[in-house]
Structures are given as C-alpha cells and as structure tokens.
Amino acid sequence: MLKRAFSRVRRRLSLHNEPGLPALDLRQFEISERLFKGFPFLEPHRGASGICDLHFQDRELRGAIACTPAEATLLHLAALNLKPQKALEIGSYIGWSSAHIASALDNKLTCVDPFLEIGSSLMEETSQCAKQRFLDNMARCGLDQKIKLVCGKSPDILPELVPNGGWDFAFVDGWHLDDQPVRDLIGLLPYLQGEAVIILHDPWIRDVRDGLVLLLLKGFNLYVCDTANYLTFCWRGQLTDGLRKTIAMSKTDRLTSHISKERKAGFGLGLKTLDQLAAAGMATPS
Ligand SMILES: C[S@@+](CC[C@H](N)C(=O)[O-])C[C@H]1O[C@@H](n2cnc3c(N)ncnc32)[C@H](O)[C@@H]1O
C-alpha cells in the first residue's frame, strides 16, 4: 500500500519535471497576439501543471501564473459563442484572461480580485501595484470601459454584486488552495441563471478538482479540455449550440495539447473518476 502511495507521489512529481521555457510565439492565436501588445510586463512561464506550454507571468509582480494562449483563446471563443449578458470573473491577476473575455462581450465583464497573490504568497493587504497593473493593462488594450473591477474577496463580495436575474457566465480562477474553489462555487451557485456556464481553470490542483466534483453533485455536466491546465466547461441541462461549438473548437489542433488519458487520470480528471468521486459524496460540503 505504502509502495503504491509512493509511486503515485513520484509520478505526480515527475509530471512537473519537464525543463525549458516555451517560445513566445503567438502567431496561431490571433486574439492573444493582438492583446499581448497591451501587456508589456508579461513574460513567458512554463506553467505548473506538467504540460509545458506557453503561460505568462508579470515579471515584476510574479505570484500567480496567467493562462495559456490556447486557454485564453478558448475563453474568448466561449464568450463570443455564448454571448453572455452578465459575465463574471473570479481571479483576474493582471487581466490576461479578463481581456480575452471582455473583448468578446457586448456588456461589461465584472472582475473580482483582492490582488493579494504577489510573489510567492497571499498577502494581508491589496497590492496597489498589482491593481494598477491590471487597470493599466486594460486601458492599453482599450478595454477599460468593458470591465468593472471589484477589488474584493470571493465569495464574500459576491452577494452585493449580483446583477438582476443573476450571472449567466462565470470564469472561476481565484485562490486555488485551502478549499477556496469549493467555497467560491458554493458562494456563486445561488446567483447563477439556470442556463449559466461556469468555466474552471486548473482542476489538476486537488482543491479545484473538488470544485468539479461539487458541480457534478449539483447536477452539472462537465467537459475537461485537453489544454495545459485542463480548462473545464460546466453547464446544466442541454448543451447549447454556443457551447457545443466552443467544445468542438477546443479539439482543433491549434487549441489542444493532445493530453493522454493516462495523464488526465493521474490527476483524477477522467470522467469516470470524477463520477465515482461524486457518487462517493467526496467534497460534499456540510
Ligand atoms: C491564477 S490567478 C488568475 C489568473 C488570470 N485568471 C489569468 O489567467 O490571467 C489567481 C488570482 O486570484 C486572486 N485571488 C486570490 N484570492 C481571491 C479571492 N478570494 N477572490 C478573488 N480572487 C482571488 C489572486 O489575487 C490572483 O490574482
């Protein structure tokens, strides 16, 4: 038993072992290439999931890692195809994902971030520097009028922000540990429209995966994309045409990392595993 546990740990660690910084090549990602000009402080980062792909980090702020161009493009396409009227983002960092979503919307995107994740830890107070970087990046992209920034903590701040009728689109990418993803989702669910789509980033991290299990228990369907951080679409009821189209696009060569079933299973992200976890009631909040 111990031997099995050890080999599991070793396998997980080996997933993080790939050296090398990916080349900064955005030619295949038209929208990312255009927006990147508004982010002069971003530099390449290889990410943390073990799938070595081009990620980004602010070279002065460090702390969090922004999503890959493929994931950012998928967020943009999801917003284009779903045409949400009331969109929310939890966890914006320097605004890379925010810019991709907002640039596809007719209305404003509400972004919630306390800007605490700087360097390698969570700080007590908002980093004014990080907040200003977000605002400057949005202005350089010409998106300042498309974004409503709320400098506060999810889920506590959510009730006072709810739009009439609730949100119909939520990208959840805030603090990834300490049960926070499950707390974010529990806080969010009462304020969603019935047809709302939730998109989660990083379910290869256990606390985020617990969030997926919670959504399964609440009757959501999931599609885990083959992207470096397993961007996951979650919806209730019938798959809409917009989401079907987005999921189909996620399978095209440009947007997929062709992740093997085994690697996904190593993170418990096979659909069977997720269903079994949900059936066992794991991550059920009291
Ligand atoms: C992984 S980063 C977001 C990256 C961004 N979505 C992107 O791809 O460009 C996580 C962000 O969550 C923020 N965060 C931490 N705790 C939070 C909370 N309680 N509510 C909202 N955001 C939070 C951090 O300040 C950090 O900026």
Q: Taking 80 as the threshold, does the pLDDT of residue 262 lie above it? A: yes
Pocket test for ligand 1, best of 45, 49, 113 (most atoms within 8 A of CB): 113
pLDDT beyond 80 at 282:
no
Enclosing H/E stretch for 74: helix 69-82
| Residue 9 binned pLDDT confidence (cut-offs 50, 70, 90) | very low
**Which pLDDT band, with edges at 50, 70 and 90, does 285 fall under?**
very low
23 exposed, middle or buried (CB, 10 Å; 0-12, 13-18, 19+)? exposed
pLDDT (0 to 100) of residue 156 = 98
pLDDT tens digits, 133-175: 999 999 999 999 999 999 999 999 999 999 999 999 999 999 9
**Coil, strand or helix: which one is 250?**
helix
Residue nearest to atom 5 of ligand 1 (CA): 92
Digit-coded pLDDT (tens) for 36-89: 999 999 999 999 999 989 999 999 999 999 999 999 999 999 999 999 999 999
Q: Per-residue pLDDT averaged across 9-30, rounded?
A: 68
Domains and CATH numbers, the chain: 9-58 (no CATH), 69-279 (3.40.50.150)
In ligand 1, which atom is closest to the CA atom of 65?
Answer: 1
Confidence of residue 183 (pLDDT cuts 50, 70, 90): very high
Atom of ligand 1 nearest to the CA of 202: 1
Say how far apart CA 267 and CA 262 lie, in whole Å: 9
74 Cα: distance to centroid of ligand 1 (angstroms)? 18
